[in-house]
Structure 1
């Protein structure tokens, strides 16, 4: 072997001999395989081939006031602002990790009066004298990053940044859904108030007819008193319904990050309660890629995986190049002269020989963080499937209930019309009219509630289906690129294969 080759081999052997022992520390978790989860009949059923939710999905409800409320909430809700603040924190951390890659430079300057010992290494006249020490230096450092640790740390920070962005997107979706559901409650309160007003008016009409019949001697005073007795109770319910409207307005103002007074200016909703809304084909694998919360957890797993790579790189020797160039002088009048120039350059080698326990503790902590991220991802996948199944089931139930209550209202209306006409003609008693009226308003109230439930379930379904999140925004094919090294699991199925980089 040639001397140069022998020296290189010996140097390499020495470097690797200086590596710290990882102690066999490794993660214990792997991400769940989507194909192993049974979506059940609800998610596997054949649904209309409608498109997935659009980003502004609530506009399909056809209410401009609702659109404005959602916009105000997104702009002013404190909780959403807090989520965006976390995004900025993660972005700053990623910028800091990026700055550790490649060149690092610094400038230092000093001017100080120093007295040198006469009994130290410097002879007279420096020893025993006092002088001004003046320096201005440019320091340079280049990190070779031989084992990719700095790049892995940057990738990990970028993963956490993207996860924070998606968590903010999830918070925004939850806020949008909460505003829509609160607005549906507001619409429900207004509709119930309107129905009670109509019931009070009709009850007053029955009282007026009963008064006419009493004057004609066709009914007794007891019957008139019984008819009148129901009216105060209805008026009490009407007052309570106004309070429900006020509370719904205040809730909407709070979601928008505004005071209660902002809710008092809201008009009556104009929701299209009977609008037909198609459902997309919600296969489990397609659903997972459209949930920003699930994708955020996926990025957390990737970030933790790259964090393991960053820690593992510290087990190997590292080499940096250090350089300095500047001016140094013990007097002001010579500071800017050419012969005051000074420089130095050379490598700096760090050997982790005596840091084994510390590095193994760091690796143990990072692998535990990876396992926790995988567990959180698995939990989010299962929760996403269950939320979608629940929302689809509730949506279908609300549709069926709306159809049944429509039929009930039509039947109750016919019965009331017949009883009312007979009562005016003196052919039926007031009890028949009261019973028919009570049945009619109960049916109308059920219809209003089922319509509100239908819209609320639609809002929940839109949230469960990702609220318009586009999986094309994510480089899904690469998100799991480093995870496979630490957990033997295939990447989850997605709608399409896309190219991209996790970093």
Structure 2
């Protein structure tokens, strides 16, 4: 560009750049560093706890894991919940918000241009700095300008800020998957409770039928003067208690249906249309052969924490870059004139270009404090990640341990039920033959009922533990992107030695 365009060009700004660089060490980062180290999941000791488990490379849950239950009604309810649950839509909105924030921060990487047009009708003071004939007169001042600015990101501050915002957007997206997993497992768990309630109702109806038969037999014995009115009254009193149990189960079914409707984001009438579950038998549980190393990439909560660690490491880079000069280039081109007659003439043009430099020299410790905050935030993010990893491994082992011990409980429970049913049959036989009284029959019947209830509870708990294992393994989540390596190492910024 020739000298006619920019007359008297300043040649001092390269010297200013050199001086700014030499003064950069005035704000010191000495003594500030992070303390936390991210845990290596492969070193979490769990081999002994997982020993004896059936392993399979294909044992990770599928995305639509609930289809394993083989219930079309449950599949439809899951689809409805995933598309219309308000809590899930809130999580989706948070993802869009984080992405928009990343877009705002990302604007700092590009030049900024602004245009302005102004026309002002102004009376100039007769006693001001403007000389006659303009002084004391009304004039129209017209200005048209286009300003361009670009910050030179020598120290990577803007790039690190953008990366931090993108990492938080990734974390918000993974939080959405965590909310999705929480919703689907809550819906499935409630559906299992509904299936248990129907099974309990069947048991209560069978008990009512048995007690009605016993009442008929007791009436015959009273008529034959084998039993007294006392035994008849006891047999009659057993029926209202059983009907009360049926009414309580009916209330439980209605309330569970309401909960299922709420989890789907629908009104109570949707719950009234829910039919009895038709769940298939879930196959034997097996564990992935690459536990616990790959668990960190399968659990949404762990992956989200990894992204937050990455974002915190980028925040440190931003804080460290603020110790160095901030340099930008600014340019201006436009027109300025008094009146409209010569507004578009070449002589009305206004041109300008030059650097702008700001350098922290003494700030009372603000920059050091800000860096300390970011480093502490990084340490907290790393330790939270470590705690999440350890909790995730324990979660898997807890479900596995409970399933293993539940098998032994179920075996013993089946034997207890067999024995109590045999005792009940003997008591009935003795009662029919007149060798036992009704109290013995009632006691044996109560034991059978208690054992059958326990069997139902164990079967329900087994399915719930398998559901919990699916959740503990991440519910079929597979991340689209994985955080970089800076989240597991001590973070350094350009020019730092701390």
Q: Give the shorter-chain TM-score range.
A: 0.7 to 0.9
- Supply the distance in 2 between the matched residues of 1:244 and 1:46 (Cα, whole angstroms): 36
What is the match of residue 74 of structure 1? 82
1:17 matched to 2:23: yes
Q: TM-score scaled by structure 2?
A: 0.88
Deviation at 1:32, TM superposition (A): 2.3
Residue 499 (structure 1) aligns with: none
Of 460, 482, 486, the residue aligned with 1:481 is 486
Cα 1:134–1:24 change in 2 (3 A) is farther
> What root-mean-square deviation, in Å, do the aligned CA atoms of Structure 1 and Structure 2 show?
2.6
The CA deviation string for residues 395-419 of structure 1, in whole angstroms up to 9 with x for no partner, is 3233433344344444444554555
Q: 1:73 to 1:403 in 2, by over 3 A?
A: farther
- Within the candidate set 97, 105, 108, 1:97 is matched to 105
Task: Tell me whether 25-34 or 182-191 shows the greater mean CA deviation.
Answer: 25-34
Aligned match of 1:345: 353
Residues 93-130 of structure 1 show CA distances to partners (whole Å, capped at 9, x for unaligned) of 10111011121111222121233345555433344433
Contact 1:72 1:256 in 2 (8 A): yes
Shift of 1:388: 1.6
Following superposition of structure 1 onto structure 2, how do residues 37-436 of structure 1 map, counting pairs within 5 Å?
A: 37-39=44-46, 41-49=48-56, 50-273=58-281, 275-281=283-289, 283-355=291-363, 357-417=365-425, 419-420=427-428, 423=431, 430-436=438-444
Q: How many Å apart are 1:482 and its aligned residue?
A: 5.9
Question: Aligned partners of 2:32, 2:152: CA distance in 1, in Å?
Answer: 26
Q: Indicate which of 437, 455, 462 corresponds to 2:470.
A: 462
Task: Kindly indicate whether the alpha-carbon contact (under 8 Å) linking 1:169 and 1:292 is maintained by their aligned counterparts in 2.
Answer: yes
Of 458-467 and 326-335, more deviation after overlay is shown by 326-335
Query: Which segment drifts farther, 122-131 or 417-426?
Result: 417-426
SS at match of 2:361: helix
Alpha-carbon distance between aligned partners in 2 of 1:309 and 1:68, rounded to the nearest angstrom: 48
Determine the structure 2 residue equivalent to 1:28: 35
**How far apart are 1:300 and its partner, in Å?**
0.6
Which 5+ residue runs of structure 2 have no aligned equivalent? 1-12, 493-498
Tell me whether 1:440 sits opposite 2:445 in the alignment.
no
Instruction: Output one character per residue of 1:229-270: Cα deviation in whole Å (capped at 9) or x when no partner.
Output: 222222222211111112212222222233333222211111
Shift of 1:69: 2.1
Number of aligned residue pairs: 478
Measured after TM superposition, the shift of residue 362 of structure 1 is 1.8
User: 1:290, 1:321 → 2: CA distance?
Assistant: 46
Q: Secondary structure at the match of 1:27?
A: coil
The gaps in structure 1 that reach 5 residues or longer are: 1-6, 488-503
Q: Is the 8 A contact 2:122 2:139 kept in 1?
A: yes
Secondary structure of 2:365 counterpart: helix
Contact 1:61 1:275 in 2 (8 A): no
Alpha-carbon distance in 1 for matches of 2:487, 2:201: 59
Residue 435 to residue 192, structure 1, CA distance change in 2 (3 Å): same
3-state SS of 2:122 partner = strand
CA pair 256-344 structure 1, distance change in 2 beyond 3 A? same
Q: State the distance in 1 between where 2:144 and 2:72 align.
A: 65
Is the 1:304–1:373 contact (alpha carbons within 8 Å) kept by the matching residues of 2?
yes
Retained in 2: the 8 A contact 1:179–1:255?
Answer: yes
1:344 is paired with a residue whose SS is strand
- Secondary structure of 1:137's counterpart equals strand
| Larger displacement relative to structure 2 (203-212 or 419-428) | 419-428
Sort the Cα spacing of 1:336 and 1:8 in 2 relative to 1 into closer, same or farther, 3 A: closer
Q: For the Cα contact (< 8 Å) 2:313–2:486, is it kept in 1?
A: no
Whole-angstrom distance in 1 between the partners of 2:372 and 2:136: 55
Closer, same or farther: CA 25–145 of 1 in aligned 2, 3 Å: same
Alpha-carbon distance in 2 for matches of 1:446, 1:281: 34
CA 1:117 to 1:354, structure 2 compared with 1: closer, same or farther past 3 Å? farther
Partner in structure 1 of residue 5 of structure 2: none
Q: Are the aligned partners of 2:298 and 2:474 in contact in 1 as well (CA < 8 Å)?
A: yes
Aligned partner of 1:497 in structure 2 is none
Secondary structure of residue in 2 paired with 1:210: helix
Q: 1:450 to 1:274 in 2, by over 3 A?
A: farther
Q: Give the stretch that moved more between structures: 70-79 or 196-205.
A: 70-79
Kept in 2, the 8 Å contact 1:16–1:317? The answer is no
**Alpha-carbon distance in structure 2 between the residues aligned to 1:253 and 1:348:** 61
Q: For residue 296 of structure 1, report the CA deviation from its aligned partner.
A: 0.7
